[in-house]
Amino acid sequence: MHTRCGVCPLRRSSAFHPRTAAEIGVIQSLKWRERQLEAGDTLIAEGRTDAPLHTLLRGWAIRFRTVRDGRRQILNILLPGDLIGVQQRMGESAPGVSALTDSTYCVFQTDALWELHRQPRLGLDVTVLMAHEESHVDERLLSVGRGSARERIATLLVMLFSRAKALGLDDGGPGVPFPLTQQHIADALGLSLVHTNKSMRKLEQEGHYEISGGRLHLPEPRRLARVAALFEHTPPPVRPLI
Amino acid sequence: MHTRCGVCPLRRSSAFHPRTAAEIGVIQSLKWRERQLEAGDTLIAEGRTDAPLHTLLRGWAIRFRTVRDGRRQILNILLPGDLIGVQQRMGESAPGVSALTDSTYCVFQTDALWELHRQPRLGLDVTVLMAHEESHVDERLLSVGRGSARERIATLLVMLFSRAKALGLDDGGPGVPFPLTQQHIADALGLSLVHTNKSMRKLEQEGHYEISGGRLHLPEPRRLARVAALFEHTPPPVRPLI
DNA sequence: CGAAATGTTGACTATATTCAAGGCAAGTGG
DNA sequence: CCACTTGCCTTGAATATAGTCAACATTTCG
């Protein structure tokens, strides 16, 4: 095991609630190992219902489902601090999780979900994280169900920018890292690749965003948020880290 | 208060896990009151973040979000036994909940979410219910993002039929109660009303389903599931009831 | 019985998909 | 070092799907 929870670099971020030493001790005791993946690798195969809990420590990942004929829907984009695998353990159709970038995962032991719930505080934190994740999926469903291509793209860019910034992923530089290809964006938005490309080019030419060297920069986030039109843009809330 | 948890009619359904008397006692102690709504009434206004937890006891409801210009996306359709309001308490953009039919809700006291988590078993059950709900939203997102109108409608009908049947809502009669209007279906599927209507007529003429007298009947669920094409149709899992 | 809500249909338009082709940049092997 | 491959982005043309508008039919309910 590499990182000890007591010195977890994520905990230095103000995006997460502070924790007592006792809580950190419990979490540490449930940590089984760490796993490193390269971009494109699979963390959890679609359909697997026995996967352990993970926390994404470093890098980006996606949660997705596919149809037999190859269509893919990205359900959620995962950033550091996101808890992964609670859905898996619940029976129903289990989505897959795969790495968007080289990334590191904290892997918990098999009974971690139960053990976490033995501590009321940590159990509630699991629930809170689930609620946050669901609100991301709600947001995406609203966007995909009721937005034009333009609005969907704007929504996605604004939200990712804001989430990444809140985590301090912009290490001072302009903009934030942005590892998605247009294919990923299309799969997240329920659009074809070609239409995604055309709509993005237009937004870019209008000066709404700029992507270069794997970084996304929004000159005026408020203006792009106005294009998105679909949601009240509140900054991502501070949340627990497990 | 009307129904005591010990004699809750829902608990007679095999769709839910059995509970110990002690657990039921805890749940009973957290129940504050009951609420009756008529079709169309609002249980939780969109944006409210201080709503209490509820359990839907009887009837149907929807969870939805709207855009300022009137567009509406139904995120999920709620049936008896569904836990309502966990997302509300978490800060982010809170969806609304409103009654699709005359319906009854069990309303919990303000600190119920915390009190439930003081019991590891019940805390885990909250998490399990959240995971189930998220898997419904995932399913809808896959359907809306990647399905044709035909596929989306087929998916929705098959899933609702199957959920309602698993709850025993078909009281012996043919088919199950079906209180959705085409406008609701359109709002759930991210389609326009007109297009929804035309696609539904076609499916109906092909003999895939029949709706009359507020009931939905599927002569051959497997055949309609094949039209849906998007998901493995597993029967809804047995789940906890809080 | 009349009003309001819901469902149905056709004609027209807009949005998005598919197909096809080509460009550019980064990495690979001769 | 350069041809060659590969992955990703870009563009145009043709087509399909879905949305909008407008009207009317049917059902429900007071």
pLDDT at A202: 97
pLDDT at A128: 95
Q: pLDDT category, A132, cuts 50, 70, 90?
A: very high
pLDDT at A241: 97
Pick the residue of B83, B119, B137 with the most A CBs within 10 A to test the interface with A by mutation: B137
Span of A77-91, A209-223, B206-220 with lowest mean pLDDT = A77-91
pLDDT at B1: 60
For residues B55-72, give the mean pLDDT: 96
Q: Mean pLDDT for chain A?
A: 94
Cα angle A132-B105-B136, degrees, rounded to a multiple of 5 = 40
Q: Please state, in angstroms and rounded to a whole number, the distance separating the CA atoms of residues B242 and B240.
A: 7
Contact status of B111 with chain A (Cβ, < 8 Å)? no
Contact status of A49 with chain B (Cβ, < 8 Å)? no
Contact status of A233 with chain B (Cβ, < 8 Å)? no
pLDDT at B235: 87
Contact status of B195 with chain A (Cβ, < 8 Å)? no
CB contact under 8 Å between A137 and B139, yes or no, is no
Q: Which bases of strand C have any atom within 7 Å of the beta carbon of a protein residue? A: 5-11, 15-20
Which of chain A's residues have a Cβ under 8 Å away from the Cβ of B92? 132, 135, 234, 236-237
For residues A72-79, give the mean pLDDT: 98
Provide the Cα torsion B106, B112, B118, B123; round to 10°.
60
Q: pLDDT category, A91, cuts 50, 70, 90?
A: low
Residue A239 · residue A132 · CB < 8 Å: yes
Q: What is the pLDDT of residues A23-70, one digit of tens each?
A: 999 999 999 999 999 999 999 999 999 999 999 999 999 999 999 999
pLDDT at A1: 60
Q: Please state, in angstroms and rounded to a whole number, the distance separating the CA atoms of residues B59 and B180.
A: 12
Contact status of A91 with chain B (Cβ, < 8 Å)? yes
Find residue A37's DSSP bridge partners: A103
pLDDT at A89: 73
Percentage of the residues of chain B whose pLDDT score is greater than 70: 99
Nucleotide nearest to B194 (CA to C1'): D19
Q: Please state, in angstroms and rounded to a whole number, the distance separating the CA atoms of residues B152 and B189.
A: 6
CB contact under 8 Å between A134 and B133, yes or no, is yes
Identify, with chain letter, the residue nearest to nucleotide D11 (CA–C1').
Answer: A198
Q: Which two tokens stand for residue B25?
A: 């006692």
Determine whether the distance from the CB of A200 to the nearest atom of strand D is below 7 Å: yes
pLDDT at B92: 72
For residues B179-183, give the mean pLDDT: 98
Q: pLDDT category, A109, cuts 50, 70, 90?
A: very high
Contact status of B70 with chain A (Cβ, < 8 Å)? no
pLDDT at B189: 98
Percentage of the residues of chain A whose pLDDT score is greater than 70: 99
pLDDT at A54: 98
For residues A82-101, give the mean pLDDT: 89
Is the pLDDT score of A229 beyond 90? Answer: no
Nucleotide nearest to A184 (CA to C1'): D8
Q: Please state, in angstroms and rounded to a whole number, the distance separating the CA atoms of residues A129 and A131.
A: 5
- Cα B87 → chain centroid: 15
CA of B60 to C1' of D30 (A): 24
Q: pLDDT category, A76, cuts 50, 70, 90?
A: very high
Cβ pairs A/B, distance under 8 A: 150
In this prediction the pTM is 0.96
Which of chain A's residues have a Cβ under 8 Å away from the Cβ of B95? 138
Q: Which of A90, A121, A139 sits opposite B131 (nearest CB)?
A: A90
Q: Which two tokens stand for residue B175?
A: 């088919």
Determine whether the distance from the CB of B202 to the nearest atom of strand D is below 7 Å: no
Q: Which bases of strand D have any atom within 7 Å of the beta carbon of a protein residue? A: 7-13, 17-22, 28
Is the pLDDT score of A232 beyond 80? Answer: no
Backbone angles phi, psi at A67, to 5 degrees: -105, 155
- What does the DSSP 8-state code read for residue B235? P
- Distance between A67 CA and the closest CA of chain B, angstroms: 6
pLDDT at B216: 96
Q: pLDDT category, B91, cuts 50, 70, 90?
A: low
For residues B70-96, give the mean pLDDT: 91
CA of A214 to C1' of C29 (A): 27
- Distance between A111 CA and the closest CA of chain B, angstroms: 12
CA-closest candidate to residue B139, choices A71, A75, A134, A129? A75
Identify, with chain letter, the residue nearest to nucleotide D8 (CA–C1').
Answer: A181
Q: What is the pLDDT of residues A141-193, one digit of tens each?
A: 999 999 999 999 999 999 999 999 999 999 877 899 999 999 999 999 999 99
For residues B230-236, give the mean pLDDT: 80
pLDDT at B238: 94
Write down how long chain A is.
Answer: 242
Q: What is the pLDDT of residues B127-177, one digit of tens each?
A: 999 999 999 999 999 999 999 999 999 999 999 999 999 999 998 778 999
pLDDT at A193: 98
Q: Please state, in angstroms and rounded to a whole number, the distance separating the CA atoms of residues A179 and A101.
A: 7
Sign of CA dihedral A121, A125, A126, A130: positive
CB contact under 8 Å between B189 and A145, yes or no, is yes
pLDDT at B75: 98
Q: What is the pLDDT of residues B26-53, one digit of tens each?
A: 999 999 999 999 999 999 999 999 999 9
CA distances from A25 to A7, A79, A99, B52 (A): 11, 24, 28, 32
Task: Name the amino acid, one letter, at B149.
Answer: A
For residues A83-106, give the mean pLDDT: 90
pLDDT at B230: 73
Q: Mean pLDDT for chain B?
A: 94
